[in-house]
Amino acid sequence: MKLPHLALGLAASLCVAVKSLASSDFNPGVTLRSIYSRSSCCSELKWTFGHKVSFPGSVEFENEQNGNGTLGYWAAQAYSVIPSCRLTPTSGEDVSVAVVKLAHLSCKFAIRGGGHMWWAGASNIQDGVTIDLGLLKQVKVSKDLKITSVGGGARWEDVYLKLDAMNLAVAGGNNYFAPRFGFACDGVESFEIVLASGKIVNASASKYPDLYKALKGGNNNFGVVTRFDFKTFEQGKLWGGLIVYNYTNPIEKLQRLQNFNTLSGAGGDPFATVTNVYSFTATGPSAIIYLPTYTKAQAYPEALKPFTDIPEPQMLNSMGIRNLTNLTRLSAVPYGQRAIFGVATYANNATLIANILDIGQDAFNGFQPKGNFSYSQNLQPISRAITSKAALNGGNVLGQTPAQGDVFYNNYAAFWTSPDDDAAIYARTQRFFTRSTQYAEEQGQYHAFEYSNYALPSQNPIASYGRQNLAFLRAVAKKYDPDQVFQTLVPGGWKLYRKEG
């Protein structure tokens, strides 16, 4: 989900994979058996779990690995990784038994939530064991309608479909409710998590409060989250869609976004949000897109008129009153493409962002892809109204506070079809981030925070939370995972000890 953070599945989109390297000054001191062969790890699981374990070549394995978007992975790079076997548990108890067995045998493993992370190895593992939470996708609402319990393998569409029918919602996924409720992780009442010992605990503000806080941004460093309990609120239909303009006057459009962010941070309409997308192909700019959303069934509210009333022709206008499921589907990206994400946080400054858009164009100047290719820079206003909510909900570890002022998250995304373009796109993407970061730092308008759902492999989002939060996360991990199972045997995800460079 958009949390520690779930994946289009939940774990990825909360406040949140993957290569990690142990730092030179870290010696976890793990005392485990000699490494079993990969086939022995899977044989042991097969003996215990029977048909819940599948192997390459079987129908079950291929459905879980590829799945055409219904079971498998969102990005082509993720399903190109082939584990020795896949375990599909049907309960938290299954996960508990599996984690204990894999730790005892020193078997390396990965955890797939919703399968949205694009990295090869983020939620899959070459020649290891993948624990696929795809069948843990229950969505249950409490009798008093205040809590929605969501399985760790659910995707946000599973949640929206259930809650739309009940006129309810939670803050997560495409979080249009952030000005009212904060980041998605701030809306989690409790986590059911399987620890390395196999113990299943429910972490909340009153039980295991240190673990509860750590899970709100700490990724998969503490165990396997098998259920999220979300605070739930009444929500009818809302108003939203896409408005597409030609790529003209970007600085003027960015100024509208800057003004909106400032007003929101100063206590503006909390029902109004907007994302601003600058879209490009290999030949240059293609469109400027707004996704204005109002979480009431009211068309064209005053707060969003700066984006709906621009005196220019609209190439597309799909705005309308609809439920959250249908609104989210409007902007969904198809499964199976090759993809890369990257992220940066900048000051709320239109001129700065306009220059960063130019740096992006320079990075791809002269690129001639062998297949289809496009990229975008997706600007999300993050105002003080959003960052102020963490302290009201038990805190999180993101290090985002109102003291930083109003900022933009710039979520870069590229999509293409030919594997032959991989190296060039990776290199040009890295070039863009190196140059844009240097420029923003020179202007004194760069913020260190990196939103983990969209970070590059070369980035280090957990370190970007700040030294104090990183030290807290390491202490919590050592307390609940003293043998460092989730640091050494689970290479996917953002790890707590990483070598830079």
The confidence band for 392, taking pLDDT boundaries of 50, 70 and 90, is: confident
Rounded distance, CA 77 to CA 263, Å? 40
Residue 430 pLDDT exceeds 80 = yes
How far is residue 333's CA from residue 345's CA, in Å, rounded to a whole number?
23
Nearest alpha-carbon partner for 56 in 110, 160, 129: 129
Q: DSSP string of 377-433? A: EEEEEE-HHHHTTGGGGT--SS---GGG-SEEEEEEEEEES-GGGHHHHHHHHHHHH
| Rounded CA separation 58/270 (Å) | 50
Inter-residue contact 205 to 252 (CB < 8 Å)? no
Q: 271-292: buried (b, 16+ CB within 10 Å) or exposed (e) per residue?
A: bbbbbbbbbbebeebbbbbbbb
Q: Largest Cα–Cα distance in the chain?
A: 69
Element (H, E) at 443: none
Q: Which of 498, 499, 493, 495 is closest to 117 using CA atoms? A: 493
| Closest alpha carbon to 135 in 98, 93, 95, 89 | 89
pLDDT in tens, 162-180: 999 999 999 988 889 999 9
pLDDT of 33 higher than 70: no
Mean pLDDT over residues 125-154, rounded?
A: 96
What 299-307 contacts at long range (C-beta under 8 Å, 24+ apart), as own/partner pairs, is 299/239, 300/239, 301/239, 301/269, 301/271, 301/272, 302/269, 303/260, 303/263, 303/268, 303/269, 303/271, 303/272, 304/272, 304/274, 306/256, 306/259, 306/260, 307/243, 307/256, 307/260, 307/274, 307/276
- Cα angle 187-190-194, degrees, rounded to a multiple of 5: 135
Whether pLDDT at 27 is above 70: no
pLDDT at 24: 27
Mean residue pLDDT of the chain comes to 90
Strand 320-322 vs strand 109-112: parallel, antiparallel, or unpaired? unpaired
* Each residue's pLDDT tens digit, 194-220: 999 999 999 999 999 999 999 999 999
Indicate whether 497 pLDDT > 90.
yes
Residue 244 burial by Cβ neighbours in a 10 Å radius (0-12, 13-18, 19+): middle
Q: Is 83 helix (H, G, I), strand (E, B) or coil?
A: coil
Cα-to-chain-centroid distance, residue 205: 23
Number of H helices, E strands in the chain: 15, 21
- Which residue type occupies 241? G
**CB-based contacts of 241: which residues, under 8 Å, 6+ apart?**
291, 292, 317, 318, 319, 320, 322, 327, 330
Sole residue written with tokens 């998969």:
220
Is the pLDDT at 370 greater than 80? The verdict is yes
Among residues of the chain, what percentage have pLDDT more than 90? 81
Q: What is the pTM of this model?
A: 0.91
Q: Is 44 helix (H, G, I), strand (E, B) or coil?
A: helix
- What DSSP character marks residue 5? B
> What 3-state DSSP class applies to 167?
coil
Q: Give the pLDDT score at 501.
A: 43
Residue 215 CA to residue 364 CA, distance in Å, equals 37
What local confidence, expressed as pLDDT, does residue 333 receive? 81
Who wins on pLDDT, 494 or 392?
494
For residue 12, the 8-state DSSP code is T
